[in-house]
A and B are shown apart, each in its own frame.
Chain A
C-alpha cells in the first residue's frame, strides 16, 4: 500500500473527522484509503454543486441512507476490526498453536494442549480463585456504594456540583497516578492508614491487632487481596455510580412521594421502591464494571505484581506474565481466553435480562 493518501485528508475532515485521532498513526495505510474515499464523496456532498458524480439513480449520496449509513460507520468499524477483531482472532489462533515469542509464526495446530498445560500449573488455580475473589468482592462493595452515592446525588444539597466533580476524579485519573497514592497509603513502613490506626490505639503494642506497628497491607495475602478490592472499588465507583444514578434519576419523583404518603419510611422506600426500580441498571453496572475488573491487570501490576508469591495473581496478569514476559505466546493466549466462554455467556444472559426488564417496566 502506498503511503498515507494525503489528498484524502481534506475530505476526511469534511467528513467530520470520524476517524479516531488515536488510530491515525498506527493504521494509516489501512484506514486512510477508505476514509479518503468516503471523505472524497463527503467532500463532494458539501462542496460540489449537485452534479454528475455522487449521484446514483438520480439520488444524492446524502439521500441514500443505507449507503450513507455505511460510510459513516466505516471508520468505527475499521477501528473495531483492527484493534478488537484482529487481536481476538490472533489470540484464538495462538491459543491453539505452538507459537512462542521466539517463533511467533508457528501456527501448528495443537488442539487443547495449551489449555491442558496451563491448567496444570499451580498458579492457574490461584489466579482463577483470586480473579473470582477480587471481582466478586469489588462488585459486592460497588453495588452497595454506588446505590448509596446515587441516593445521595439524587437529593439536593449545598455544594453538590463540587462534590460530584471531586467524586468523578478517580475515573479521570490515570491508574498509574492513582497507584502511586495507593502505594504510599498502603506502604509497609510509612502507611498513613497505619498511623491513624496507631493513633486510635488498635495497632501497635497493646492494640487490638497485636504488638505489630504495621499492617503490611501488600505483604500479606489476605490484606493484599483486600487492598486490590479497595483500589478497584476506588477506580470503578465513578462509572458504577454514573450508571446507577442515571437509573435513579429516571424514576419518577411521584413514586417516592406516593410511597411516603403511603406511609413508607426511608428503608422501606429504598428496599421496596428504589432498589426494584434500579435492578436493571444495577445489572448493567455490574456487567460493565465486572468486565473491566476481571480483565484488568494494571492494578495488580502496579500494587503487588501478583505477590507476595503468587497470592494475588489474577488471570489477566498471569496471562501477560506467561505470554509476554515468559515468551510462551500460546500459553498466555490460552490463559487469556480461558474465561471467555464464561464471560460471554454471562454477558448475553445479563444483557437479555436488562433489555427485558427495560421493556416490561
Chain B
C-alpha cells in the first residue's frame, strides 16, 4: 500500500491552466474522492497520477518517491476507466491475466491469482466469456478484477459507476467500498457526482477551475464549507446563500425550523420570513422553494456579476426542508416564519467567496 502526495501540481494545455497547483496527500489505505464539475481539472489530475499525462510543473510522490517522468506502465498504479476498457477480443480470463503477462509475473501463479481476484468480485462463472456478452455490472467487476489481480500500490477509479443503470449503482457503490476496505489499497476516486463522492470517500477533494477548493471529510464539507462554491456544490439541495451587505450567509435547507403562529425564535436563533412558491413532496421529506422576504442585502448596483451567477449568490431564493409531518401544514403562496440557529449560519466573503470564521465576522 502506498500513499500519494502531489506538490504544486500543474498542467497547462497551451494557455489554459487545467490543473493549477494542487497540493494533496492521501493517508495509507484511504479512499480519496476527487469531486468537481466537468472542466474542473479532476480528470487531468487523475491522468497525471496514472502517468498518462506529464505535469507541466510540480511533483507527484508515490510512497515518497517522485514518479514524474516514469511512464504509466512502470508505476504499478491500477486504473479502472469509465468505459471499463475491457479488451473485447480476449476472454474475461485473458483480460484479467493481461497485467500479469505484461509485468512478467511467473506463469504458474496466474491461475491462482485470477481465481482469487475473480473470487473477490464473484465472477468465477464468467471467466470464459467474452466482454461483449457481459452486462454493465459484470463488466465493471471484470475491470475491477483486472485492476486488483496485479496487487497494485494504488487504485484510480474514473467515474466507475456512471456507466451503470441507476438500480445497480447503489449495490455497485456498496461493493466498491467493501472491496476497497477489504483490500486496503489506497484509492483515488474521481467523480462529478457529489452523492458518490460523499458516500464513498473517506475524504473528499473538491476541485474547481483547476484548483483545490477544499479537502476534508464529507461531514466537514457539508457542514463547514470553506467557500461558497463548496457550499453550493455539496449537498442536495445545495446550501442556501443569501446576501447580507458585503457578505453571503449560507444556511442548509434542513436548518430552517418552521415557527408556529406567535412563536418567537429561541435565544441565539435568527428569524427568516420566507414566501413559499412551490412545495415538493419527496417521500421522506418535503422541499419548499421560496424567497426570503427581507433579503436584506442591498441590490448590487451596476450588475458587476451576470444574472445567473447572481441568482446563485443570494438574491433571496431559498430551499427549505420540512419533515414528513410538517410539510402538510404549509401551502405555496403563503409566507412563514422560520428560525435558524446562529451556529448553522455560515458567513462567506461576498467578493472572494471565502469563508469568514467567527471572530472575523
Complex interface bits, B96-113 against A, C-beta within 8 A gives 1, otherwise 0:
001101110000000000
Complex interface: chain B residues within 8 A of A272 (CB): 87, 98
Pick the contact of B85: A254, A265, A276, A277 (CB < 8 A): A254
Whether A264 lies near B85 (C-beta < 8 A) is no
Whether A262 lies near B89 (C-beta < 8 A) is no
The residue on B at minimum CB distance from A256 is B85
Pick the contact of A260: B52, B82, B130, B132 (CB < 8 A): B52
Q: Which residues between 268 and 295 of chain A lie within 8 Å of chain B, taking CB atoms? A: 268, 272-273, 276-277
Q: How many inter-chain residue pairs (CB < 8 Å) link A and B?
A: 63
In the complex, B350 has a CB within 8 A of chain A: no
Whether B99 lies near A262 (C-beta < 8 A) is yes
> How far is the CB of B79 from the nearest CB of chain A, in Å?
5
In the complex, A159 has a CB within 8 A of chain B: no
Binds A, one of B70-78, B118-126, B286-294, B352-360: B70-78
A124 to B102, alpha carbons, bound, how many Å? 51
Complex interface: chain A residues within 8 A of B102 (CB): 259, 262-265, 268
* 18 CB < 8 A contacts A-B: A254-B85, A255-B87, A257-B81, A257-B85, A258-B85, A259-B98, A260-B51, A260-B71, A261-B52, A261-B78, A261-B79, A262-B98, A262-B102, A263-B99, A263-B102, A264-B102, A272-B87, A361-B132
Seed contacts A257-B85, A262-B146; 19 additional CB < 8 Å A-B pairs: A254-B81, A254-B82, A257-B52, A257-B79, A260-B52, A260-B73, A261-B50, A261-B73, A261-B77, A261-B78, A263-B73, A263-B74, A263-B99, A263-B150, A268-B102, A276-B89, A277-B89, A361-B88, A361-B132
Whether B73 lies near A273 (C-beta < 8 A) is no
In the complex, A58 has a CB within 8 A of chain B: no
> How far is the CB of A255 from the nearest CB of chain B, in Å?
5
Pick the contact of A252: B50, B83, B146 (CB < 8 A): B83
A22 to B101, alpha carbons, bound, how many Å? 57
The residue on A at minimum CB distance from B103 is A263
Interface residues of A (CB under 8 A from B): 252, 254-255, 257-265, 268, 272-273, 276-277, 360-361
The residue on A at minimum CB distance from B78 is A261
Whether A257 lies near B87 (C-beta < 8 A) is no
Interface residues of B (CB under 8 A from A): 50-52, 71-74, 77-79, 81-83, 85, 87-89, 98-99, 101-103, 130, 132, 146, 150
A198 to B261, alpha carbons, bound, how many Å? 107
Interface of A is mostly: helix
The residue on A at minimum CB distance from B156 is A261
A361 to B50, alpha carbons, bound, how many Å? 28
The residue on B at minimum CB distance from A360 is B132
> How far is the CB of A126 from the nearest CB of chain B, in Å?
42
> How far is the CB of A281 from the nearest CB of chain B, in Å?
13
A260 to B103, alpha carbons, bound, how many Å? 11
> How far is the CB of B60 from the nearest CB of chain A, in Å?
15
Complex interface: chain B residues within 8 A of A264 (CB): 73, 98, 102
Whether B89 lies near A252 (C-beta < 8 A) is no
> How far is the CB of A254 from the nearest CB of chain B, in Å?
4
Whether B72 lies near A265 (C-beta < 8 A) is no
> How far is the CB of B166 from the nearest CB of chain A, in Å?
23
Whether B89 lies near A255 (C-beta < 8 A) is no
A261 to B130, alpha carbons, bound, how many Å? 21
The residue on B at minimum CB distance from A260 is B72
Given A254-B81, A254-B85 in contact, is the A261-B98 Cβ separation under 8 Å?
no
Complex interface: chain A residues within 8 A of B52 (CB): 257, 260-261
> How far is the CB of A109 from the nearest CB of chain B, in Å?
51
Whether B81 lies near A258 (C-beta < 8 A) is yes
A276 to B94, alpha carbons, bound, how many Å? 14
Pick the contact of B83: A254, A263, A268, A360 (CB < 8 A): A254
Complex interface: chain A residues within 8 A of B71 (CB): 260
A98 to B130, alpha carbons, bound, how many Å? 58
A322 to B212, alpha carbons, bound, how many Å? 80
Greatest chain B CB density within 10 A among A261, A265, A268, A276 is at A261
A260 to B82, alpha carbons, bound, how many Å? 16
